Structure formats: C-alpha cells, structure tokens
Structure 1
Amino acid sequence: DKTGTLDSKAVGTGPYKMVQYKTGEFVLEEKYPGYWGDKAAGPDDIKWTWSAEPSVMNMALQAGEADVINPVPPQFARVLKNNPKFDLHESPGASVFWVALNTDLKPLSDVRVRQALNFATDRDGLVRAIMSGFAQPANSPLAPVTAGYDKTLNPYPLDLAKAKALLKEAGVADGFTMSIAVQGQDARIGQVLQSMWAKIGVKLDVKIMESGVWTKAAFADQAGKKADNTGAVLASWSSGANGADLQLRPLYYSKSFAPGGANLGFFSDPKLDEMLDKAASTLDENSRNAIYVDAQKEINQQAPQVLLYYQNDLYATGKNISGVTMIPGGQIVVKDAQKK
C-alpha cells in the first residue's frame, strides 16, 4: 500500500482485529464487534508472541505465561505429554524434511550416487534420534496428508551393501567429499547424516549457518552454488492442505530453479514436468491422483533429494484450555478457544 503499513494495519473479515503490533515481540488482537460469524465464541483478546529458542516456549507454558504453544519442539514433547497439567496434541503433519542434492555437481549429477545416499540413510534412526519419535520416516516427496500420496512406496530401505555397489558402478567406490548447508537448529540432523554416510565412504562437510546466511546459500543460483561448492541443502517444505501441485512443482519442476523457485538442486526431468502439467489440468480427482502416484515414483527413482521424515504437527495447551484446533501444516485455530 502507499503508506507502507499494510503489514501492521491489515483489514480483514475475521473474528479478531489487530490492536497492537510490536516487531519481533508480539501481536495483540481483540474481538471484532462487526464479525459476521459467531461473536460469542473465543476469548476476548489474543496475544501472539514468538521466540527462536525452543526452550523459551516450553518454559512459557510451564510457567503459565502462555496458554498454547506451537509448534512444540520434539525434545520437549515427551515431557509435556507425561505432565498431567498439560495436553499435548499430535496429528500427522504436512511438512516434508529432505536433503536437496545439487544435480549440477559431480558426482551428484550421477543418479546412482544420489540413490546410494538414499540407501545409506537410516530414516527410522533419524526419527528416533532427532524427533524423539514424533515423526514418520519419509517414503515419498508428498506427505501422508496430501491427496495422491502413495503409502505403498518403499524406494530406499536401509541397505549399505546396495549403496556401496551403486557408488562402485558410478566410479566412486572409495567415496567422495561433499558439503551440506544447514541452519543452526538443524545441526544435529547434519551430524547424524555425516555419521550415516561415512559408512559408505562419503565425507560430509556440515556447514552450520544462521538463518539469513543459510537462505542466501540455499537459494543461490547454479553459479553461486558451484562457486561455494554447495553439494546439498537441508530443508523442509509444506503445502499444508493445498494439494500435491504446491508440494511438487516448487521443488522439482524444471522452471522452479533457485533463486526464483525452491528447486534447490536444479533437478530437471522433462518426463516429470509433463506429469505435473497434466495433473494440474486434470479435473477428475481419481485420475489426477493416479498421475501424482506416477510422479512420486519418478521423483523417487531419479532421487534429486534424500527424503528424511514427515514431522508430526504438535501443539500443547494447559488443561484449562479447550476449543483449539490445527490445520494440517501446523496452523493453529483459536477463534473458538475457551479458558476455564
């Protein structure tokens, strides 16, 4: 807008209106008397705060300074689940965690090398070690909550012998060295992958970055990633409840290369492009989902990424809070919340 205040003085049609916004600290909302729906539902006001520190959210709930926290860090989920003062709410999530492989760089340009990394990845172990069990091992670039997801896929069970054989076929039997860009909060994932891939001779250089630096590295163009020798990027993506196209097209379509899109590894597959275009123009849901099943198989076969896991949606409330719900993808809805 002309005055530059649209982000802090937004006008909408929902049950609440914003009354105060303090950058980096909180947003305060109160009931909008002109709301077209049920004016009696929900609290009189809602204060949204945020923190980059997982422990801060956990302590805020424990101290009664917050009534709801979202998302619950997996390392604190078990403690909250076992505490009778709180309710931990868990549901299948839409977030897919994966490692985008730079298909422009050798030897990652060889599909056999990319497949080898997948066979060397213990997804069940990752879920236990990193997510405390609050996730599902990924078998597809689509999350289970997304229409068209194929639960029967099992493309890369842990198989170190198969991984080593593929590296030998690709001419790198003794392994190779590659780097991965990770954000600070995901450092542990990078370190676990480093240990896993070392078993097949792959030396993984984990480059830990703060958020802004990571974004620049992750969304660098082909020349930028080549100059920095960035072999991989640890990332996640969620299309929420918005369908398979918004999960697959940004990440795997040939015209979605970074920095304009989120195809971080510059993967290009005309066969897949054709599938995605055909699915997007197919009105019949069953026919469209059948195309997406084939698309999942094609992506898995070409292995432009190492699939890791689907993070469960987790939020916690005090026992005195009811009426909070969650939309797949992690968005909580509090318009009907009640505090006893």
Structure 2
Amino acid sequence: MRQRKGIWAVVFLLVLSLALVGCAKDKAGNDAKEPKDNDDGKSTEETASGGQLVFGRGGDSTSLDPATTTEGEAFKVTQNLYETLINFGPQDTEIHPGLATEWEQSEDGLKHTLKLREGVKFHDGTDFNADAVVFNFERWKSGTGEEFPYYSSQFGDRIAEVKAVDEYTVEFTLTAPIAPFYKNLAMSPFGIASPAAVEQHGENFFKNPVGTGPFKFKEWKENDRITIVKNEEYWQEGLPKLDEVIFRVIPENSARLNALMSGEVDLIDGVNFSDKETIDGNPDLQVFERPSLNIGYLGLTSTRKPLDNKLVRQALNYAVNKQALIDAFYAGAAEPAINPMPPVVAGYNPDVKDYDYNPAKAKELLAEAGYPDGFEMELWAMPVPRPYMPEGQKVAEALQNMFAEIGVKAEIVTYEWGTYLDKAANGEADTFLLGWTGDNGDADNFLYVLLDEDSIGSNNYSYYKNAEVHELLLKAQASPDQAEREELYKQAQVIIKDDAPWIPLVHSTPLLAGRSDISNFLPHPTGSDLLSSVEYTK
C-alpha cells in the first residue's frame, strides 16, 4: 500500500487540521515516503521505521530449508531468509534480477549463463558467489525426489552441469530445453543457502537456515513461533524496514482473527471469507486480497481400489455440488474449478466442460463400474487452513454428505499437517483434500508438477499416470514457442478431465487482514510474501 506525502508539525489544532488535509503520516509520526522501485523489482524507501511485526498463521513450518519441502507455511518464512537467482515482481510472476543481475541463453535453449551480484554475504559472513550456486544445485541434484521434491519436479535430470565460469558467472547446461527455466529459478524452493552452513549443520540444516535474505533466523519454538530479525548487513540499502518478525501458530481461523482484534498479533492469513464484512467495519483493521493463483481439490488416488476405475472417479465428480461449497465456505470469493489450473494461467482450456452436479448420473456410473450399492472409502481432511481451503474439516463434512447421497460412505480422517503430507505423498489416502498455489505462473507448474508421472512420489499425490499426457507435457516443457505450448496444455487438460484423477473444487481469492497502520505489505500470488519493505511500528 502506498502512503501519500505529508508534513507533521506541532501547531495549534486549527492549523494542524488544515495542514493535514489530503496528507498522511506513518504510525510513528514520521514523514510518509513514496516507495521507489529499484532495478530488482523490489520496493525501497528513504527511511526505515523499525519495529516488530507478529504474523499469525494457521500452521507451523515443516522445514526452514526451502528445498526440502512443498508446503506454503515453510515458504512464508524462508522467502525472507533466502534469496533466489531471479525474482518475481512485487505482485506478479514477471521476472526481475535477484542474486543474478543478468542472464542469456543459447539459441537451442540448452545453455544459460547468469552474471551474479557482487558483494553479497550470507548471514554467516561467507561470500555469495558462483561456487555457492554450484554447491546448491549439486546438492539438490544428488538427492532424491523425496529429499528435494521441487528440484525433482521442476528440473528432474535435465540439468547436466552447473559450472562456475568465474567468481561471479555461472553456466547451466541442460540435456533438454526447459521453457520456464528462469521462472523456475525464481521459485521459493530454490533459495540459495550458505554452503558452509549446510556442511556445518548437515541433516539439521532445516532447523538452522542461513541465506542472504533481508532477515536472519533467530529461533524456532515448534508449533508456537519462529522469529526472524533484521539482517543489518543486507545488500539492499535501507531494507528491511522491520527489526523483527514473529510467525505465530494459531490453528483456528476465528482464534487468529480474535488475536488480531485484541492486538496479540498484527497480521493474519487464512481469514474466513464470512469475516470480511466484520473486518471492513473495524477502523483499526484492513483487509488484504491475495491475487488468485490457486486451486483447491479432492485428490482421488488412482492406484487404490475402487478409485483405480475411471468410472468411479467420474461418478464422484458428478456427486459434488461445487457452488454449494462456495456459498457455504467462501462467501462467494471463489469460482468453481474445472481444470487443474486457474483460468489466469496461459494455456488454460476454456472449452473443457465440467462434470455437472448430477447424483443420478453418478449412481448410474457406479452401477456400470460394478458398485450399484456404493462402497466405503476414507476422505482425508486437511488439519490446517490454507488459502484455497480455509475450513478443511467442514468442507470434508459437506463432501461426506454429498457422497452419501450416491451410496458412498466416506470416513473422515486427518493427521498432523506434516504427517498428512507425507502419508498422502506415499499414496496412503483413498481421497484427500489438498490444493496448490502456483509457484511461477506457468502451466507447467500445475499440470506437470501435480499430475505428470514424473512427479509421482513428490507432488503427484493422486498417482495419476497417462502416457499421452506425459508426452504432451514434456513437449510443452521443451518448446520455445509459447503458442505451441499453450495448445499442448489445452490438449492435456481434455484428457485429464476424462481420466478424472481429481475433483477440482475452487479457485479462491485468499484474504488476509492486518492492523490499519501496516503499510507496503503486498501479498504475492504465489503465497510467498516478502516482508522487507513492510513498515509497522506499534
């Protein structure tokens, strides 16, 4: 949010009131400054305000090593501890310089040369340079898909070599072109870590994060709080504005809002859509809308009976009334999902028709599949609120009732968040509520990452596998022609819709809320919010 220029003077009340017409001040009474953009796509300002910000969130991080996790609670923190070679824009997925200042690729798309920013230090005082970049990529490449799931899903075995040409130049050689290569590099999981710290802490590095970001790690009290503090040696002059950020775990959305209203926390995510009117009516609070780049879905594990039968999966799709879910739990701030990616992503296929809400058709398909009396299954409910699923337990209960109408008895199961993700990734769920917030704005990040056979064991929790889809997605991934890529993705969506590995539920517009005097907080569509320019002094 931008503040307008203003003046602050201790004068008589009448003069003061006239002087302040059309002007604004920050909470500390200092002159409010217009943010200015630097060449890195980030905002800086002329003065720092200091202070502490308490960010209330629904769940704890599973790791503070971003390369080892896939969940957004981790990235909320690591986005501020680490930096990537390339940055996204403040509220979009356009690419800008980051730890790399410029880049170029060969005509065949197999070589990428990046010039690195000089004079940057890791939080432990060691130098950021080309050797550090090589170390990180070799570490990720040498691990398994389970250890480094994003590296596996975004790059696989297509990076043949990463070489330090000189101290501040690094060269990537690929075995096949990767069309969204630079957007991949900007994703939170590929934050560059200190090689010295990784070697020092070994398997405990996930609890001892060391990057180059605007904040440094202070402490982690599991299931309670993570504290990060200002990096006094940060390379961007004047940033960060805040002295300290505390990420507090408050699982219930209503409890989190109460904590905001009482002043216990200053900023929250996972706001119930039904609470927006209450927040809007409170002069001490403000609502933030995150640009939508997500999908909430019910995954159908296609290797488990009877969900290995396509007719059964299609029947379950016909049983779900998506609009009823939106009316009940999203207060209209969502739209029914048809495809596995949101309509704002290039390559979305608007011609794909959804399974309409038709319980009679669902029963017909179940009978055709050999289940005229239905069947029993587990339905896993998310234990934490997420932007695409603010009330997972209640959504699960609504789905349970819808499935009961067609004779399918769904037993609701849940686990602690980290366990939930691990067990679902292992294919242990029959059906499971989950979702995805896009990492780079590219169709590859939805379709290939979530539904390609290469992603089974990492992000393809439904264990969906289709050879034709695989061929289409690999071809799209390698093509330098954006129009061709979009056509390939459209073809893949037609096949995926028929195979029905998911029940796509919603694309939501997530809400956050904070104190009214928080400024320059720009929620990012990826869900990874950089807090370096935020100002707030209690």
Q: Distance in 2 between matches of 1:327 and 1:147?
A: 18
How much does 1:70 deviate? 2.1
Q: Distance in 2 between matches of 1:6 and 1:337?
A: 28
Q: Distance in 1 between matches of 2:210 and 2:458?
A: 29
How much does 1:158 deviate? 1.5
Contact kept, 8 Å, 1:181 with 1:232, in 2: the verdict is: yes
- Report the equivalent of 1:174: 373
Alignment of 1:20-169 (within 5 A): 20-24=218-222, 25-39=224-238, 42-74=241-273, 76-169=275-368
- Report the equivalent of 2:484: 287
How much does 1:86 deviate? 1.4
Q: Distance in 2 between matches of 1:137 and 1:187?
A: 19
Q: Distance in 2 between matches of 1:198 and 1:135?
A: 25
Could you give the per-residue CA deviations for residues 101-124 of structure 1, whole angstroms, max 9, x where no partner exists? 122333322212211211111111
SS of match in other structure, 2:529: strand
How much does 1:44 deviate? 3.8
Q: Distance in 2 between matches of 1:29 and 1:215?
A: 26
SS of match in other structure, 2:414: strand
Corresponding pairs, count: 330
Q: Distance in 2 between matches of 1:207 and 1:75?
A: 26
> Share of identical aligned residues, percent?
30
Q: Distance in 2 between matches of 1:85 and 1:39?
A: 28
Q: Which moved more, 1:178-187 or 1:3-12?
A: 3-12
Q: Distance in 2 between matches of 1:40 and 1:246?
A: 31
SS of match in other structure, 2:199: coil
Q: Which amino acid aligns with 1:195?
A: N
Cα distance change of structure 1 residues 335 and 196 upon mapping to structure 2, 3 Å threshold: same
TM-score by length of 2: 0.56
Cα distance change of structure 1 residues 29 and 171 upon mapping to structure 2, 3 Å threshold: closer
Q: 1:195 aligns with which of 389, 401, 421?
A: 401
Contact kept, 8 Å, 1:102 with 1:232, in 2: the verdict is: yes
Matched, 1:206 2:412: yes
Could you give the per-residue CA deviations for residues 161-213 of structure 1, whole angstroms, max 9, x where no partner exists? 32233223323233222222223452222211111122222222222333354
Where structure 2 has 5 or more consecutive residues not aligned to the other structure, the ranges are 1-197, 385-391
Q: Distance in 2 between matches of 1:118 and 1:334?
A: 40
Q: Which moved more, 1:31-40 or 1:135-144?
A: 31-40
TM-score by length of 1: 0.86
Contact kept, 8 Å, 2:239 with 2:532, in 1: the verdict is: no
SS of match in other structure, 2:305: coil
Where structure 1 has 5 or more consecutive residues not aligned to the other structure, the ranges are none
Q: Which amino acid aligns with 2:309?
A: D
Q: Distance in 1 between matches of 2:327 and 2:212?
A: 43
Contact kept, 8 Å, 2:292 with 2:507, in 1: the verdict is: yes
Q: Distance in 1 between matches of 2:411 and 2:210?
A: 47
Could you give the per-residue CA deviations for residues 279-313 of structure 1, whole angstroms, max 9, x where no partner exists? 11011222212211222221111101111112322
SS of match in other structure, 2:432: strand
Q: Which moved more, 1:76-85 or 1:326-335?
A: 76-85
How much does 1:64 deviate? 1.9
How much does 1:66 deviate? 2.4
Q: Distance in 1 between matches of 2:324 and 2:522?
A: 30
Q: Which amino acid aligns with 1:157?
A: D
Q: 1:268 aligns with which of 451, 454, 465?
A: 465
Cα distance change of structure 1 residues 91 and 202 upon mapping to structure 2, 3 Å threshold: same
Q: Distance in 2 between matches of 1:8 and 1:106?
A: 39
Contact kept, 8 Å, 1:102 with 1:108, in 2: the verdict is: yes
Q: Distance in 2 between matches of 1:256 and 1:112?
A: 24
Structure with more strand by fraction: 1
User: Per chain length, whose mean CA-contact separation is higher, i.e. which structure has more relative contact order (CA < 8 Å, sep 6+)?
Assistant: 1
SS of match in other structure, 1:115: helix
Q: Distance in 1 between matches of 2:455 and 2:536?
A: 45
Contact kept, 8 Å, 1:142 with 1:296, in 2: the verdict is: no
Q: Distance in 1 between matches of 2:310 and 2:528?
A: 36
Cα distance change of structure 1 residues 47 and 191 upon mapping to structure 2, 3 Å threshold: closer
